[in-house]
Amino acid sequence: MPFPTTPEAMTTTPSLSQDQPKLSWTRYLGFSTDAKVIGIQYIVVAFFFFLIAGFLAMIIRGELLTPPADLVDRTVYNGLYTMHGTIMLFLFIFPVLNGLNNLLIPTMIGAPDMAFPRLNTAAFWLVPVFGSLLIASFFVPGGPAYSGWWSYPPVSIQNPLGNLISGQSLWLLAVALSGVSSIMGAINFVTTILRMRAPGMTLFRMPVFCWTALAAQSLQLIGLPALTGGAVMLLFDLTVGTSFYRPEGGGDPVLYQHFFWFYSHPAVYVIILPVFGIFSELFPVYSRKPLFGYVYVCVASFIIVGLGLIVWVHHMFPSGVTMWMRNLFMFTTMLIAVPTGVKVFAWLGTLWRGKLQLTTPMLFCLGGLINFVFSGITGIMLATVPIDIHVSNTYFVVGHFHYVIYGAAVMGIFAAIYHWFPKFTGRMPYEGLGKLHFVLTFVGANLNFLPMHPLGLMGMPRRVSSYDPEFAFWNVLASLGAFLLGVSIIPFLLNMISSWARGPKATHNPWNAIGLEWLLPSPPPVENFEEHVPTVISRPYGYGTGLPLVEHQAEIERQLILQEASA
Amino acid sequence: MTASPSSINRPAVLGVSLWVGLLIGISRWVGLQSYQWFPVQASTAAPLVDGLFSFETAIGTFVFLAVASVMGWVILRHRAEKYDATDAEPIEGNTKLEIIWTAIPFVLVMAIAVYAMKVNTRLGVLGPMEHIHLADAKEQQGGYPGDRLPAETIEVVARQWSWEFRYPEAGVSSTELHLPVDQPLTFRLVSEDVLHGFYIPAFRLKQDVIPGRAINFNLTPTRIGRYRLRDSQFSGTWFAANQADVVVDSQADYQAWLNQAAGLPLQAGISDAVTEYQKRLQQTPTPGWATVKPAPPPQVNVPGSNALPHDA
């Protein structure tokens, strides 16, 4: 790429932030093409929906506090649990991760912006569009979709009121739009990573977060068409009476399950891979050591991609698949433990004999890691066909995936937010509130999700609005945990709002971290390095090696410090 | 890359060995405890599933505790001193270690998978897994080889939201499932509307019931008692209430029940959904959101009960 990287260009670096007019916060409200604005838009919108879906979870756990269906009507319960899962996945976790991608990918690889800035804007603005569709579905006659986030037919095509505009049809429309948005995002992220890296940044000098983003977004590109196609066929079955999945018309309801899980299992890796990236970025910073086995950790992401695409039938062991499929998909699923184990051991190797700093982001990473190890073990149990036959569709599964998604992924996302908050807002978050947030989250998550495992082993099905009295004890504990998690969000929101408004000013590198993004002012100027992209000369995470990451690093840092002193 | 210390640190090796020994002891104990996390074992499948789970629990406990030990150790012992902003020694990797920690999980999970496949095969012999297979001549004639000759084929009809059990040979139908103990049984699972799940936790067995297909499903109960049958695949509004009782009787009691049932007139069977739907209709305005109307309760000889105390 033709970036001028001569020493003269470096030494004459203008004081970027001083030249620019003060940017108004109102840019966050409009159609921006700036990846850093879009990133924050994604994250803020995601947390708005996180609060809604979290509130639905509180009602669900309130209903399950006692055995009978007594808090809400059964129809309402079914709608609420469906919307809880749907909003959490399509409107919280994917958008928040895309927000991190937008903030981190260009700054980490030294690109001025995403490859296709307007495509990026369009992908983001689809989120509030399909988000509004989903929220609107609460108010259509008959209420929202109630067939679970899987929307398995024939329940999902029963349409009790017979209206064309039903909760279920809006749901399918929203999911299809979400798929379109994600595909647009994926094209952008993959292209940006492959084509716009700083000079000298070969693939094996690229930060692991970008590796995992590349892996995750490749999965989106491969898997999403299957889900989107499957969802459109379901929409046709529902609205115009086709029989793709309708048994009385010769269709096969199990076919839908294949389309659905062909994407929706890899979707779990779309979620967890970037979180592995976050762990790989943060453990070195707060252990003051290089990432252990960097190359292997990078490659393991793509082994996970390959295997992740051939395990989907493990969601369908009891739903009518042959013996050979059960055995085959058990083996492929088990194999995923190997590259995943490699990563876990690499993080332990990074921590080992380090100089650990237990800051808020580090605590979230450590908590996320131990939760992830637990969920990995229950994952192996679920991969084992005979055990899965007993616990599939029970609370054991609900416990397992909440450990993955809340215990590991959401905690990793919180770690990332605390870690990169100073970079993109120019303000330091408060440590005290952060640590309080960590303790409440860690205790709340374990209290909420651990009791689900004994419930599942005892045989309590998931998605029930009432249950037999023998399940009451563990359900009460789980509900208390859920309410604690509800409380845990308060210190987080307080911290974000107050520190962004009046937190202490952040320097360009408050954590003394290594990476291109830390060679930019906090917050970075609109075009990041503009034409002065540094040339990368070593691998990331050179903690303790004394090797500079880029050419003329000392000069760049001196400039940044001078700039901060004069501000 | 740093070399390991040239001389072996004896106290460290001893300490680690003792700790690993302790973890192995704890893991074995937790593995044995895991049997108590399940409902009673009431079918031939149950001990096999519980045994496999116990094995994986022991291994999983060890892995979890080992990782937690390393994390605990570094958090306690490798913390940076206050105001120490210096870097640690830069260890970038260790190929030998990386090979070892690829190989060990690989061997471990493959061992589990092979064990599980053997259990699968045994369960397959016992029945439940093989509902879709190449045509088997003996089966086509309605018979099973040798010891697997089923005593009875019981038809299970799943509906929104009731379970109906038909005993074609005895001409009996019921909404309470009665089974003879220690007899291989074959079920023919059909659904009249949506997906349902035929799930009896005490048997550790589950099979989705798929509209448009009749699925043969085999199992052998081993313990006399009253158990729950739960719908395990979300089936709509009254999914949670779609439960039936499974009564495992001695051979003699089972025959007596069948004989007595055959003489009873047909009457409405259990459907909690219908009862709740009637109540719902009387409320104005109708609470909640739209729902599919429950199917009428099946007409059966024996409604039975799903409100008695059950063993699991």
Task: Give pLDDT, residue B40.
Answer: 97
Instruction: Quote ipTM for the complex.
Output: 0.93
Give the residue-averaged pLDDT of A198-206: 97
Which CATH superfamily groups domain B162-300? Cupredoxins -  blue copper proteins (2.60.40.420)
Domain ranges of chain B: 14-75+95-126, 162-300
Nearest CB among B38, B57, B287 relative to A73 is that of B287
Give the residue-averaged pLDDT of A126-131: 97
Confidence of residue A2 (pLDDT cuts 50, 70, 90): very low
The string of pLDDT tens digits covering residues A359-375 is 999 999 999 999 999 99
In A254-293, the residues whose Cβ lies within 8 Å of chain B are 254, 287-290, 292-293
How close A370 comes to chain B (CA, Å)? 7
Say yes or no: A155 contacts chain B, CB-CB below 8 A: yes
Q: Is a pLDDT exceeding 60 seen at residue A453?
A: yes
The domains located in chain A, with CATH, are: 42-566 (1.20.210.10)
Coil vs helix vs strand at A427: strand
Q: Test A356 with B80 for CB contact under 8 angstroms.
A: yes
Nearest CB among B63, B201, B205 relative to A377 is that of B63
Report the range of poorest mean pLDDT among A21-25, A326-330, B225-229, B270-274.
Answer: A21-25
- Residues in B closer than 8 angstroms to A335, CB to CB, are 106, 109
The string of pLDDT tens digits covering residues B195-217 is 999 999 999 999 999 998 888 88
Nearest CB among A142, A253, A290 relative to B92 is that of A290
Nearest CB among B75, B210, B238 relative to A320 is that of B210
Task: Give pLDDT, residue A21.
Answer: 58
Q: Test A356 with B197 for CB contact under 8 angstroms.
A: no
CA A153, A154, A160, A161 torsion: positive or negative?
positive
pLDDT above 90: percentage of residues in chain B: 74
Kind of pairing between the strands at B162-167 and B267-268? unpaired
Confidence of residue A488 (pLDDT cuts 50, 70, 90): very high
Q: Is a pLDDT exceeding 80 seen at residue A97?
A: yes
Task: Give pLDDT, residue B7.
Answer: 65
Q: What is the pTM of this model?
A: 0.93
Amino acid at A429: P
Q: Which residues of chain B have pLDDT under 50?
A: 1-3, 125-149
- Residues in B closer than 8 angstroms to A142, CB to CB, are 289-290
Task: Give pLDDT, residue A22.
Answer: 67
Give the residue-averaged pLDDT of A195-199: 97
How close B250 comes to chain A (CA, Å)? 25
Other Cβ atoms within 10 Å of B89 Cβ, number:
14
- Residues in B closer than 8 angstroms to A461, CB to CB, are 197, 199, 230-232, 240
Give the residue-averaged pLDDT of A295-321: 94
